[in-house]
Structure formats: structure tokens, C-alpha cells
Amino acid sequence: MSTSTNYSKNVILLPQTNQLIGLYSIIRDQSTRRGDFVFYSDRIIRLLVEEGLNQLPVQKTIIKCHGNHEYEGAKFLGKICGVSIVRAGESMEMGLRDCCRSVRIGKILIQRDEETALPKLFYEKLPEDISERYVFLLDPMLATGGSAMMAVQVLLARGVQADRIFFLNLLAAPEGIQTFQNKYPEVKIITGGIDQKLNDDKFIVPGLGDFGDRYYGI
């Protein structure tokens, strides 16, 4: 795996601990059964969400504890929501809900146009007040970055500030990161792994296969 040192400060790579490398070793293995793939992918997704929450601004606040003792704590500033890029991004919604009770979830459907081979927006359903929120954009894989960049374009058109968007993914290709950052440098990318490259078919190498197919068993 690569590190994030070659990228801007807005590319955040999870610490490559033995635990995380072990989790990726399981989900990368083509012989891993679907149940295990889902279980260990969900663990990684939870780590990504936790890191996303670490990036949110907080305000110092004094808490009254039992016995009238005081504690200098913190509270989050602003509301958040999740936006999944359908279909694979929906696999990350539960990880967000596990960390944030009653979180609002929006959806964006982007598919490849067979005539132009370019991503095309087919559907969007977003919270009405999304412009006032911090947005966790959810998609497991950052390959070419085409779908993610179109999703960001949709969010910006709805009034979301670029520096309030956090793009969470399990795996990213260097080419996709560079393209994405060149267009949207203020958006934070939070990823669990940066792989070697894209191959000629635009698949991440070594990758883990088609995430959506493996997660949903299709």
C-alpha cells in the first residue's frame, strides 16, 4: 500500500495497523465467503466513519459531572448527513447509522452512459436542508473518480460547501485521488487503503474485486 504523504493534507489514510492490514487481507482474498466479506468490510467502514467524525469541528464546553465536578469536554458543531452513491455506497450506510443515531441519508444514482462511456446522473434524493450540513459521501471504491466527482457536483449545486464534504472509501487508486483532488481540492478523502494503480480496464490493482457484487452476493 501507498501512504498519503504524496498527497495533500485533505487525503487522510487510516493508520496502517496490523489489525487494519489483517482486515484487508480477509476482504481482498478471493476465496473469502460472502458472510465474512460483509462482516469484515463493515468493521473497516466503521473505522472510516469514526475517522470522518474526528474531522468535524467541535466547540469546547464545560460539563457538570456527578458530585458537581466539572469536565472540559467538546460538542460537535453543525449537523451531518450521509449520501451514498447507489448501489455499492449503500453498503456503508449502516456503519454511519451505528455511529450517528437518526442520521439523515440521501442517495445519488450515477451510471455509465453506454454511448459516451461517461458517468451520467440518473437520480438524486437529498435532505432539503443539506446545504446546512456536513456531508459524508459514501462509495467503497475510488477508481477513476468519475462518479464521485459527479456526486460532488450535485452536492455543490445544492449549496453544500466543498470543505464540508468528506468522501469515505475503502480503497483508492492513485490516479483517482489525483484527478479528484485536482478538481475538488477542498473535499477531504478518507480512505482505508491506497493501492498501486488502475489497470487498462480501469480496475484498482491489486484491489478486492467488485465490492458491490461481493457484498450483496450477486
pLDDT (tens digit per residue) in 81-93 = 999 999 899 999 9
**Cα–Cα dist 68/54, whole Å:** 29
CATH number at residue 85: 3.40.50.2020
pLDDT recorded at residue 117: 62
Backbone phi and psi for residue 120, each to the nearest 5 degrees, phi listed first: -135, 135
Task: State which residues form the domain around 159.
Answer: 4-216
Question: Among all residues, which ones are annotated catalytic?
Answer: 112, 116, 210, 213
pLDDT recorded at residue 7: 86
Tens digits of residue pLDDT in 150-176: 999 999 999 999 999 999 999 999 999
Cell of 152: 460532488
pLDDT surpasses 80 at 118:
no
**Cα–Cα dist 10/13, whole Å:** 10
Please, which pLDDT band fits residue 4 given cuts at 50, 70 and 90?
A: low
Q: How high is the mean pLDDT of the chain?
A: 93
Count of structural domains, the chain: 1
- Residue partners of 48: CB distance under 8 A and separation at least 6: 14, 92, 95, 168, 169, 170, 190, 191, 192
pLDDT recorded at residue 115: 72
